[in-house]
């Protein structure tokens, strides 16, 4: 195991559950320490911290509402303290903008409040949290933004959500261009339908929906969190240092 001065550190938003949790744990298995955020359940976040320790790495959980940009300055201060507590220098290496909320409603019925919520969490939050953290990320670092297969596969009732994720995909390419002089690679990962508690656990807990997803997927099943976390951890590593400005769909071949 490397010394603290050489260890990599990731910030993973929404790291207490689902894909974020799986990403943190897979980074830990690669010797990467994490600062993970949670919005409501500190208990779940601390469970992840304990599992990271079991894997031989370190993690610190910080509360953050990614839909409230007013909280980003205090969060940056908390990150600075967390970096010190992790025995690091003053910077980190990887940022995974994972935190998100689901939304299912038609274009006709979507309200302004619903659209504002999606914008604040999925686009404005990603934009300004990344902006605030840029002074703390090492040159040569990596950023991964989370999108969705719903930017490619059109499912009625997902217009607002899919459109916000589409905006994140465009933003990712701009980030890659503007941060290129700092050698920071920026990519977007677009999961397909995954069996987590996202959207109320609908893919995981609804057998009919799970079967429909399996039938439209080339590899014949719905996705699992462990299909995504290892991929993100690999994308952040030096093995993929020349991958930049890409949308990588991780869906088992949905609707191809």
Task: Give the tens place of pLDDT for each residue, 78-116.
Answer: 999 999 999 977 999 999 999 999 899 999 999 999 999
pLDDT at 88: 78
Higher-confidence position of 156 and 5: 156
How sure is the predictor about 28, in pLDDT bands with cuts at 50, 70 and 90? very high
Do residues 120 and 68 touch, judged by C-beta distance below 8 A?
Answer: yes
pLDDT at 89: 76
pLDDT at 200: 58
- How does DSSP classify residue 34? E
How sure is the predictor about 245, in pLDDT bands with cuts at 50, 70 and 90? very high
Of residues 38, 94, 119, 161, which has the active-site annotation? 161
The string over 129-150, giving b where at least 16 C-beta atoms fall within 10 Å of a residue's C-beta and e elsewhere, is bbeebbebbbeebbbbbbbbbb
The residue-averaged pLDDT of 9-22 equals 96
- Percentage, residues of the chain above pLDDT 90: 88
The string of pLDDT tens digits covering residues 104-154 is 999 999 999 999 999 999 999 999 999 999 999 999 999 999 999 999 999
pLDDT at 208: 79
CA distances from 110 to 107, 161, 162 (A): 5, 11, 13
pLDDT at 1: 35
The mean pLDDT of the chain is 94
Do residues 72 and 132 touch, judged by C-beta distance below 8 A?
Answer: yes
pLDDT at 199: 59
161 labelled catalytic: yes
Residues 150, 190: Cα–Cα separation, whole Å: 8
Which domains can be identified in the chain, with CATH numbers?
9-250 (3.40.50.720)
């Amino acid at each position: 195991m490397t010394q603290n001065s050489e260890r990599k550190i990731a910030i993973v938003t929404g790291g207490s559950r689902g894909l974020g949790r799986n990403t943190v744990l897979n980074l830990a298995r690669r010797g990467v320490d994490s600062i993970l955020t949670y919005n409501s359940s500190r208990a779940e976040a601390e469970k992840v911290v304990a599992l990271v320790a079991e894997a031989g790495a370190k993690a610190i959980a910080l509360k953050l509402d990614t839909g409230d940009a007013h909280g980003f300055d205090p969060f940056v201060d908390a990150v600075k303290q967390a970096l010190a507590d992790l025995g690091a220098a003053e910077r980190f290496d990887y940022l995974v903008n994972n935190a998100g909320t689901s939304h299912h409603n038609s274009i006709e019925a979507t309200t302004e409040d619903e659209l504002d919520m999606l914008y604040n969490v999925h686009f404005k939050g990603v934009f300004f949290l990344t902006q605030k953290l840029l002074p703390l990320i090492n040159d040569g670092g990596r950023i991964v933004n989370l999108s969705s297969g719903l930017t490619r596969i059109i499912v009625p009732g997902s217009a607002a959500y899919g459109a916000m994720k589409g905006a994140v995909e465009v933003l990712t390419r701009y980030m890659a261009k503007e941060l290129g002089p700092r050698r920071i690679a920026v990519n977007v990962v677009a999961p397909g339908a995954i069996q987590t508690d996202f959207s109320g656990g609908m893919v995981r807990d609804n057998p009919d929906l799970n079967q429909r997803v399996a039938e439209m997927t080339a590899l014949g099943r719905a996705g699992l969190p462990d299909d995504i976390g290892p991929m993100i951890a690999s994308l952040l590593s030096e093995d993929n240092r020349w991958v930049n400005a890409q949308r990588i769909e991780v869906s088992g071949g949905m609707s191809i």
